[in-house]
Amino acid sequence: MRDVLQSTLKEGVQALGLTLSEAQLTQLLDYLALIQKWNKVYNLTAVRDPAEMLTHHLLDSLAVIRPLRQQLQGRAPADGAGFKLLDVGAGAGLPGVVIAICCPDIAVTCVDTVAKKAAFVQQVAVGLKLPNLRGLHARVETLTDGYDVVCSRAFASLVDFTNWSRSALAPAGFWLAMKGKQPADELAQLPADVAVFHVEQLAVPGLGAERCIIWMRPQA
């Protein structure tokens, strides 16, 4: 089964225009195996089939890697040391863990209000030897760490997402919201001090569904 998953993953990575090392591909498959193992007890995801998990979770999350790198190009980290990314309502760590594997230069924090989900991400960080990943059990509204990127995947409405996580965003930071179909209603409800600077359509290999990223930043 792992061989089949590995070839599907390699094809998907290639289709997304990514270059990943063998070690990174192994980490992604090991992460998938950890989700399967812990899912029995922790109910991390409703998707149970490994092949479906690969498409719906891994490849879906991998689709943001290139766009994220492009957005960070030419920017300076808020703290001058390295980029920090916060994944809000991370659940099993999607896309946070995938970003941590693919972008070792980005410090990724996965925050969730459910303690066992934050604990799972911590376990992944230890098990896969990812020093740039941590799981945090907290409410996002309480965070004030100045993240360069605050992201979410199918977490909440754009209004709630930006409202709840605003205190965690660095002054020059931006929001990355992964959505299915372009959410016209949610975009219309955004307050005047949140600017949408790009709506990016994503093509996820093997997934016959619409996906997009809503890129936003605060404006005075």
Contact 94, 101 (CB under 8 A): no
What average pLDDT is seen over the chain? Answer: 94
Can you tell me the distance from the alpha carbon of 137 to that of 69, in angstroms, rounded to the nearest whole number?
Answer: 27
Reply yes or no on whether the pLDDT at 43 is more than 80: no
Reply yes or no on whether the pLDDT at 40 is more than 90: no
Give the pTM.
Answer: 0.96
Tens-place pLDDT, residues 53-100: 888 889 999 999 999 999 999 999 999 999 999 999 988 999 999 999
Domains of the chain: 2-218 (3.40.50.150)
How is residue 46 annotated by DSSP?
Answer: S
Which DSSP string do the residues of 131-200 spell out, in sequence order?
Answer: TTEEEEES-GGG--S-EEEEEEES-S-HHHHHHHHGGGEEEEEEEEEEESS--HHHHHH--TTEEEEEEE
Reply yes or no on whether the pLDDT at 46 is more than 80: no
Reply yes or no on whether the pLDDT at 45 is more than 80: no
Residue 177's alpha-carbon distances to 51, 64, 190, 198, 217, in angstroms, are 25, 10, 13, 11, 11
So what's the pLDDT on residue 74?
93
So what's the pLDDT on residue 39?
81
Reply yes or no on whether the pLDDT at 153 is more than 80: yes
Q: Are strands 147-153 and 84-88 parallel, antiparallel or unpaired?
A: parallel
Chain-centroid distance, C-alpha 140: 15
So what's the pLDDT on residue 44?
72
Reply yes or no on whether the pLDDT at 47 is more than 80: no
How much of the chain, in percent, has pLDDT values that exceed 90? 83
Please give the average per-residue pLDDT across 206-220, as a whole number.
Answer: 93
Can you tell me the distance from the alpha carbon of 175 to that of 72, in angstroms, rounded to the nearest whole number?
Answer: 12
Tens-place pLDDT, residues 70-79: 999 999 999 9
The alpha helices in 16-155, defined as continuous H runs, are: 22-42, 50-53, 60-62, 65-72, 96-102, 115-127
Tens-place pLDDT, residues 176-212: 999 999 999 999 999 999 999 999 999 999 988 899 9
Please give the average per-residue pLDDT across 1-11, as a whole number.
Answer: 92
Residues 6 or more apart from 72 whose CB is under 8 A from it? 83, 106, 148, 149
Can you tell me the distance from the alpha carbon of 172 to that of 130, in angstroms, rounded to the nearest whole number?
Answer: 27
Please give the average per-residue pLDDT across 9-35, as a whole number.
Answer: 96
